[in-house]
């Protein structure tokens, strides 16, 4: 009987080191976040930010967005074991790292504790961090979260809009299918659309609720596919 | 775009819009103008996982409202499923005009 505590302790140590991110395969959350940080350069873009219409968009040859997307997929694909590392990044002094962390936490939201998200939504000095933290709180689907209280102190119009969207949810959590789509996505497909090539097929839910599959139009009609940023 | 929708339909083409958010922002913004999703005249497809936006090379490249949203872009896909035309915008106003889209559609084999 006196051996039992040692066996239990041994088992706990093993599972702790697994949770700390010794991957059987693939990168840890910390590695993904490091890769993103290395590739995400805001210096060129920040010089023109808001000074010209072009200042709102990263240059066409900028590839930082790919590192962001791959890191999002890597973290979300790895799942809730990444939450401790991502919560650490949410407190980092590097702003892009905090923004990335808040964005990633949205897809992990159902398993993320409320407190660090609320803290970021209320008190992070950067509006983008607060915006994504608000999104993540909404994605948790917890009716007890008081978005009206956050609205009463938030001064950024953009964050306020996202607080409105979070209230609109009325407690609806992020759909598991959305998280799965990102978790299961093969990042090799990134930026694969090109003139002369087959259009990457997809299946997405319309705002009215029905599912639309691109390849269903094959043989029937051409498609004009317009990507919008969502407030027009 | 809505005014010329009939012209696009006349070209036997289907207009699809892709928005990188969950449905709540669309519902809220439509409500603000007294509309609902029933008033949409073409499918507004939601891509909150960003995977479609990433495949088409537009995800997370524009920061007009604090968040990292999609670069505006227009693709024309022919009846065989091949991309005939692609335009990725360099600012938020940089889109082909509807007449330019119609002209491209005219070039497609019937």
Check residue A17 and give its pLDDT. Answer: 47
A214 belongs to a structural domain:
no
Check residue A12 and give its pLDDT. Answer: 55
A129 belongs to a structural domain:
yes
CATH number at residue A143: 1.25.10
Pairwise CB contact (< 8 Å): A57 & B62: yes
| Domain B5-107: top CATH class | alpha beta
Q: Does B67 touch chain A (CB under 8 A)?
A: yes
Report pLDDT digits (tens) over A107-132: 999 999 999 999 999 999 999 999 99
Q: Identify the closest residue of chain A to B14 by CA–CA distance.
A: A223
Report pLDDT digits (tens) over A11-51: 555 555 444 444 457 899 999 999 999 999 877 666 655 66
| Residue B4: Cβ within 10 Å count | 15
List chain A residues with CB under 8 Å of B99: none
Check residue B109 and give its pLDDT. Answer: 85
* Terminal alpha carbon distance of chain B: 23
A200 belongs to a structural domain:
no
Report pLDDT digits (tens) over A44-103: 666 655 666 566 788 888 899 999 999 999 999 999 999 999 999 999 999 999 999 999
Average pLDDT, chain A: 89
ipTM of the complex: 0.94
Report pLDDT digits (tens) over B44-83: 999 999 999 999 999 999 988 899 999 999 999 999 999 9
Check residue A149 and give its pLDDT. Answer: 96
For residue A128, give Cα distances in angstroms to A44, A103, A133, A138, A163.
19, 9, 8, 15, 13
| Cβ within 8 Å of residue A179, ≥6 positions away | A76, A107, A108, B49
List chain B residues with CB under 8 Å of A107: 49
Predicted TM-score (pTM) of this structure: 0.89
Two tokens, residue A85: 């590392």
Please tell me the distance from the alpha carbon of residue B47 to that of residue B23, in angstroms, as a whole number.
Answer: 9
A207 belongs to a structural domain:
no
Pairwise CB contact (< 8 Å): A57 & B91: yes
| Percent above pLDDT 90 for chain B | 75
A6: pLDDT confidence band, cut at 50, 70 and 90?
low
Domain span at residue A24 reads 4-178
Q: Does B8 or A44 have the greater pLDDT score?
A: B8
Domains: count for chain A? 1
A159-168: average pLDDT: 96
Domain extents in chain B: 5-107
Of A56, A206, A207, the CB nearest to B92: A56
């Amino acid at each position: 009987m006196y051996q039992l505590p040692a066996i239990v302790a041994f088992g706990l140590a093993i599972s702790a080191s697994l949770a700390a991110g010794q991957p059987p395969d693939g990168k840890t959350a910390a590695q993904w976040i490091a890769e993103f940080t290395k590739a995400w350069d805001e210096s060129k873009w920040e010089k023109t930010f808001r000074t010209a219409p072009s200042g709102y968009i990263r240059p066409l040859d900028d590839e930082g967005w790919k590192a962001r997307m791959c890191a999002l997929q890597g973290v979300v694909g790895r799942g809730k074991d990444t939450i401790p590392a991502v919560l650490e990044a949410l407190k980092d002094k590097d702003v892009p790292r905090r923004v990335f962390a808040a964005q990633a936490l949205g897809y992990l939201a159902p398993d993320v504790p409320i407190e660090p998200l609320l803290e970021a939504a209320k008190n992070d000095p950067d509006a983008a961090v607060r915006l994504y933290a608000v999104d993540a709180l909404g994605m948790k689907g917890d009716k007890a979260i008081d978005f009206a209280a956050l609205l009463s102190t938030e001064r950024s119009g953009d964050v306020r809009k996202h607080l409105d969207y979070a209230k609109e949810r009325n407690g609806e959590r992020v759909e598991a299918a959305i998280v799965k789509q990102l978790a299961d996505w093969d990042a090799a497909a990134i930026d694969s659309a090109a003139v002369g090539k087959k259009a990457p097929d997809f299946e997405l839910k319309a705002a009215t609720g029905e599912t639309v599959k691109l390849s269903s139009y094959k043989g029937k009609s051409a498609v004009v596919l317009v990507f919008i940023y969502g407030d027009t | 775009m809505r005014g010329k929708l009939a012209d696009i339909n006349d070209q036997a083409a289907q207009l699809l819009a892709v928005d990188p958010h969950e449905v709540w922002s669309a519902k809220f913004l439509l409500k603000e103008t007294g509309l609902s999703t029933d008033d949409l005249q073409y499918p507004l497809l939601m891509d909150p996982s960003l995977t479609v936006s990433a495949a088409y090379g537009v995800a997370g490249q524009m920061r007009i409202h604090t968040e990292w949203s999609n670069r505006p872009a227009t693709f024309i896909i022919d009846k065989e499923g091949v991309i005939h035309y692609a335009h990725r915008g360099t600012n938020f106003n940089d889109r082909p005009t509807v007449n330019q889209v119609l002209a491209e559609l005219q070039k497609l084999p019937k």
